Chain A
Amino acid sequence: MNILVCVKRVPATGGRITLTADGRDIDTRYLGFTVSPHEECAVEEAVRIVEKHGGSSTVLTLGPEVAGEQLRDAMAIGIERAVLLETDGADWDPLATAAAIVDAVRALEAEGETFDLLLFGNEAADTGDFQVGIRVATALGRPSVTGIKAIEVADGKVVARREAGGGGWEVFELELPAVLAVKEGLNLPRYPSVPGRLRAKKKEIVRMTPLSRAGGPTKERLRLPEGNESTVEVIGQGAAAAPAVVELLTRLGVLGR
């Protein structure tokens, strides 16, 4: 099983988001960077499948040079190889991103290795476009399914499950090679070990230059949604607050009988 996982570098925002003065971006000056939890699970799953069935694992990102940090994070937990589609850091829309990933897959496969499985996050943490994986799958003519929270590989097939409300599941069976967009909960990602981190640091990153093409919606500005802010009423301190809380529960009509 040869697996390619696609991840996207995003700022790790905390309690609130601050925008740049022109309102076009998140002010990331004081923020660290990460990938979506969905993608962390995709990375972990690739490592597990290769541990179990053999094969190779590759992580790919389209982004600025500093996105190498996220590629090394993936290699630190066991991904073998990393590919950076290097940009100048500007936004890439989902059509352009998908086209660049398709070009990269074709170029890598032209060197002899085919990817049995391409793993994507269900949606990127920042833009939440819900589409790059499907666009890549469609361009490559490979079957795809989204929202996946369980994967089993056997006999040239992948059995993938997604939640269907109320605790039920929908089961899909796809011929390989296939494309899956996965969600957090697929597995519990391991923490990188110190030797893992050291190994990742020394590994080479394959660099490619993607061709840009304009596509998706054109951003004009970002803004924070209104509302939600509230004035909090502190109803008590410590255990002594219990009677006040019970009074509140009664008042809100949630202390059912």
Chain B
Amino acid sequence: MILAVVEHADRRPERLSLEMLSLARRLGAEVGEPVEAVLFGAGATEAAGQLAGRGVSVAHVVEDDRLAAFAPVAWATSIVQLMTARVPSIVLAAGSDRGSEVMAHVGARTDFPLAANVTDVLPGEPFRITRQRWAGSLLEDAVLDAPTKLLTIAPHAVAIDEPATGGTAASAAAAPILEPFAPTLTEDDLRVAVARRLEPDRSGISLTDARVVVGGGRGVGSPEAFSELEELAALLGAAVGVSRVVTSSGWRPHSQQIGQTGLRIAPDLYIACGISGAIQHIVGAKAAKRILAINTDPDAPIMSVADYAVIGNLHEVVPAISAEIRRVTGR
């Protein structure tokens, strides 16, 4: 049996969990074992119901009131108890914030190794995995030796398979059988939990959802000069993102940083202005469909990942683009 930890929000399985399930389903077919899921908290039943056609035979639903707020250790304890009851060969979760945290607790509890941000698995003896290092700038092929293999799956590394539908494979298309699971939780398991939430202020376009991102790096030169990028962003309905040099100089908040230690963006177009294209920056923009680089240096590393480039001073190029958009659109 393969046990998959499925996260959900608004009664639907999360995207990263669906990616993980696509890999789990393929693994299940390869090793000839069923995939079972575990889901936590309010809305788990509804979310489990949405797993039809994703190759999940049984969904263990933990709808304990004490788990209304996210409690990483309590999740891990529940998973460890399910492991004792169901003896899975593999336990996996998405490499999301929560998935990574909970699986690290499972690893710590069981004293089993945990392979983080796996992109591919070759089951068998030895059990081989490929995982990301340096946030995906490098891949590592490794052997995982443990009674139960613990994995997190790298975000955006596995495509989501279409769910199986009717006729052809009735069992694959079926919804999982729901089984309530009541873990035995102690005070200690519930010691760390979300005490309260601070709600977002929903102003502006979020960087992670934006169709166009205008990025600024050291080449922008000063906090004031970002007004040039903001003007272009406003004309394009784009979000402004930045490099680490910009946040560590205090020009812009870290919440706008793109890269290994910032956000991952996936726009249709990323316009990178005055950004050299260091690998730690570029891993955050890997999912961009197109990159347009504006840079004075035709040999900057960004040129090897960009699709289009304008060679020149961004303080001249960016305002000229804005002016041309105004002229063409009459805005």
Contacts and interface: CB of A to CB of B under 8 A. Distances in A.
A217 B142 contact: yes
B20 to A, nearest CB: 15
Q: Which of A93, A127, A134 has the most CB of B within 10 A?
A: A134
Contacts of B113: 93-95, 215-217
Given A146-B100, A222-B140, A237-B310, A15 B191 contact: no
Interface in B264-322: 268-269, 276-280, 282, 286, 290-293, 298, 301, 303-313, 316-317, 319-321
Contact of B105 (A93, A138, A233, A238): A138
A246 B260 CA distance: 31
Interface string A216-254: 111111111100111011111111111111101110111
A168 B140 contact: no
B323 A242 contact: yes
A183 B257 CA distance: 12
Given A166-B200, A245-B292, A129 B114 contact: yes
B194 A254 contact: no
Interface string B121-146: 00000001101111111111111110
Contacts of A139: 108
Interface stretch (A59-67, A75-83, A110-118, A184-192): A184-192
Interface of A: 13-17, 26, 36-38, 93-95, 98, 123, 125-131, 134-135, 137-139, 143-147, 149, 161-175, 183-185, 188-189, 215-225, 228-230, 232-246, 248-250, 252-257
B29 interface: no
Contacts of B225: none
Contacts, number: 269
Interface stretch (B33-41, B48-56, B58-66, B247-255): B247-255
Contacts of B199: 168
Nearest to A246: B324
A129 B103 CA distance: 11
Interface string B190-201: 011111111111
B142 A219 contact: yes
A172 B193 contact: yes
B261 A220 contact: no
Given A143-B192, A174-B192, A256-B237, A129 B116 contact: yes
A108 B45 CA distance: 48
Nearest to B313: A238
A240 B135 CA distance: 37
A102 to B, nearest CB: 11
A175 B193 CA distance: 12
Given A166-B202, A246-B328, A256-B236, A237 B311 contact: yes
B107 interface: yes
A15 B276 contact: yes
Interface residues of B, number: 100
Contact of B107 (A131, A166, A243): A131
Given A125-B260, A185-B257, A220-B142, A255 B329 contact: yes
Given A236-B310, A239-B312, A241-B312, A168 B143 contact: no
Contact of B236 (A146, A233, A239, A254): A254
Q: Which of B101, B201, B304 has the most CB of A within 10 A?
A: B101
B216 interface: no
Contacts of B72: 145-146
B97 A146 contact: yes
B280 to A, nearest CB: 8
B139 A134 contact: no
A24 to B, nearest CB: 10
Closest A-B pairs by Cβ, 6 of them: A15-B301, A185-B254, A167-B200, A138-B108, A238-B312, A239-B320
Given A13-B279, A15-B277, A234-B311, A218 B142 contact: yes
Given A147-B101, A171-B198, A232-B303, A128 B313 contact: no
